[in-house]
């Protein structure tokens, strides 16, 4: 894809997008890069932005056409009857009637020579709007890519949550088996068994709920990609993908990157340039314009008077003149047009301020969210390890009769919560890293990443790889 507003606008001007729907292979596991590529080609939003960029490019062509002369070919054919008064001494009736058939092919030329910058302002405004449309096209592609990434990680979270609920069901079943064994050995009570069965039933409920959420996430992701919404979409689970573990730039550097690279800010800056040009255009309306107008024709007539004879004619005819047009009074139309153009410029400046503040806020939020997600993921690893050890120790103590079932169930709930926390923290860390690239305008671009991933483990020198 074209990565700059100007390149995107030029690309849209030369090509017409083809409306397609993505065809997904249910037997294939798609990674995030493949899904983004499919979405860029098939999501309707990218085609809508493309067509709008193409429209702005065509409007620029219309504005540039004002620099060329207007040439019109015209053919006139007709029949005319005229009556001319004559003195009675010459014509007894007091008039003479003449019928004049005529055919006149004519070529007319109109060329605006000077207009005090009116055409230039119109072209510059159209060019700025074309660049703005190109920036909006880049923004649309980034939005779609971010939607795909968000849907992908939500599906990944749903899949890992489903896997966690299955593990929790196994844990609950283990607890129930232990309670039933203790009851058979006379070291437990029937309420303990019922309590363990209730936890198992709850685990089944949670698993079924997670299974439904996972299928819905598949449907949502398929729609974002531009395919027929369906739960048949398969993704690469990224089991061995290294996690982001640090930032590569300070928050101030990330804010500077966002201001320099975000396409929505680039589009708004182009809108301000267009507003400036519209003001120039409105001011130029107060000034005159000079134009050449000329026409050449071959006039063929053969008049037929009702008395006497007239000759036929088949001669070239022409007109040419240089004219100055200066609008003196228009009822306030130019004054109001200038005021409206100045108001639109102030509006565009205020929108730029608002978007700049929004970009700064979003970078700060993404920066803080990534650091928080990083700490949560690190804490979730310790939490899961501690919860797993706590459950195993509680279960073993219960089997030896040292602890009661309430302690085991409490440890089991803590382990289930720790599994879900670990799942959410891992996926959230990936998503926050993508969000940081999105809010700084670097998504789908080749600038250095805002985050870096964990370095792969290096085996000891001279030793066997474990």
pLDDT digits (tens, 9 = 90+) for 277-296: 999 999 999 999 999 999 99
3-state SS class at 81: strand
Q: Flag whether pLDDT at 463 surpasses 50.
A: no
CA 44 distance to own-chain centroid: 10
Q: What is the pLDDT of residue 362?
A: 94
Q: Which residue has the higher pLDDT, 465 or 11?
A: 11
Q: Flag whether pLDDT at 169 surpasses 60.
A: yes
Which positions ≥6 away from 253 have C-beta within 8 Å? Answer: none
Q: What is the pLDDT of residue 458?
A: 45
pLDDT digits (tens, 9 = 90+) for 396-445: 888 887 778 888 888 888 988 898 888 888 888 989 999 999 999 988 88
Average pLDDT, the chain: 87
CATH classification of 37-66+121-288+353-453, choosing from 1.20.1600.10, 3.40.1390.20, 3.40.190.10, 3.40.309.10? 1.20.1600.10
Cα(361)–Cα(255) distance, integer angstroms: 9
End-to-end CA distance of the chain: 43
Q: Flag whether pLDDT at 459 surpasses 50.
A: no
Cα(176)–Cα(195) distance, integer angstroms: 8
pLDDT digits (tens, 9 = 90+) for 348-365: 999 999 999 999 999 999
Select from 413, 430, 417, 402 the least CA-distant residue to 188.
402
Q: Flag whether pLDDT at 94 surpasses 90.
A: no
pLDDT digits (tens, 9 = 90+) for 300-326: 988 888 777 778 889 999 999 999 989
Q: What is the pLDDT of residue 38?
A: 87
CB atoms within 10 A of CB 265: 20
Cα(135)–Cα(423) distance, integer angstroms: 37
Q: What is the pLDDT of residue 215?
A: 93
Select from 116, 166, 105, 145 the least CA-distant residue to 317.
105
Cα(4)–Cα(10) distance, integer angstroms: 10
Backbone angles phi, psi at 302, to 5 degrees: -140, 85
pLDDT digits (tens, 9 = 90+) for 240-274: 778 888 899 999 999 999 999 999 999 999 999 99
Confidence of residue 143 (pLDDT cuts 50, 70, 90): very high
Q: Which residue has the higher pLDDT, 110 or 229?
A: 110
């Amino acid at each position: 894809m074209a990565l700059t507003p100007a390149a995107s606008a030029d690309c849209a001007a030369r090509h017409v997008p083809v409306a397609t729907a993505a065809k997904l292979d249910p037997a294939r596991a798609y990674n995030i890069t493949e899904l983004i590529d499919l979405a860029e080609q098939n999501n309707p939003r990218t085609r809508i932005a493309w067509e709008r960029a193409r429209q702005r490019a065509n409007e620029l062509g219309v504005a540039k056409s004002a620099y060329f002369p207007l040439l019109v070919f015209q053919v006139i054919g007709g029949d005319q009857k005229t009556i001319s008064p004559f003195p009675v001494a010459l014509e007894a009736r007091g008039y003479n009637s003449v019928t004049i058939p005529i055919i006149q092919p004519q070529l007319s030329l109109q060329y605006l020579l000077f207009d005090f910058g009116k055409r230039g302002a119109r072209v510059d405004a159209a060019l700025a709007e074309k660049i703005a449309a190109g920036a909006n096209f880049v923004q649309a592609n980034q939005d779609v890519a971010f939607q795909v990434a968000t849907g992908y990680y939500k599906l990944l979270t749903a899949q890992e949550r489903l896997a966690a609920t299955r593990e929790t069901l196994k844990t609950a079943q283990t607890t129930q088996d232990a309670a039933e064994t203790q009851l058979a050995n006379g070291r437990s009570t029937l309420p303990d068994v019922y309590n363990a069965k209730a936890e198992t039933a709850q685990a089944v409920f949670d698993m079924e709920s997670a299974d439904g959420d996972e299928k819905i996430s598949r449907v949502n992701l398929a729609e974002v990609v531009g395919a027929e919404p369906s739960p048949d979409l398969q993704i690469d689970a990224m089991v061995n993908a290294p996690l982001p573990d640090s930032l590569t730039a300070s928050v101030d550097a990330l804010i500077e990157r966002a201001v320099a690279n975000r396409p929505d800010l680039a589009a708004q800056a182009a809108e301000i340039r267009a507003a400036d040009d519209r003001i120039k255009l409105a001011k130029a309306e107060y000034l005159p314009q000079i134009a050449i107008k000329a026409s050449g024709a071959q006039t063929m007539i053969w008049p037929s008077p009702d008395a006497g004879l007239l000759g036929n004619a088949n001669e070239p005819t022409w007109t040419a003149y240089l004219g100055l047009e200066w609008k003196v009074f228009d009822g306030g139309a130019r004054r109001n047009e200038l005021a409206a153009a100045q108001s639109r410029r102030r509006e565009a400046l205020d929108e730029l301020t608002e978007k700049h503040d929004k970009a700064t806020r979003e970078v700060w939020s993404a920066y803080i969210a990534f650091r928080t997600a990083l700490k949560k993921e690190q804490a979730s690893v310790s939490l899961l390890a501690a919860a797993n050890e706590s459950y195993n120790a509680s279960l073993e103590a219960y089997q030896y009769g040292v602890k009661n079932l309430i302690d085991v169930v409490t440890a089991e709930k803590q382990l289930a919560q720790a599994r879900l926390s670990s799942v959410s923290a891992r996926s959230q860390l990936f998503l926050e890293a993508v969000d940081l690239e999105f809010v700084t305008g670097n998504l789908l671009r080749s600038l250095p990443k805002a985050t870096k991933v964990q370095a792969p483990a290096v085996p000891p020198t001279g030793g066997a790889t474990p």
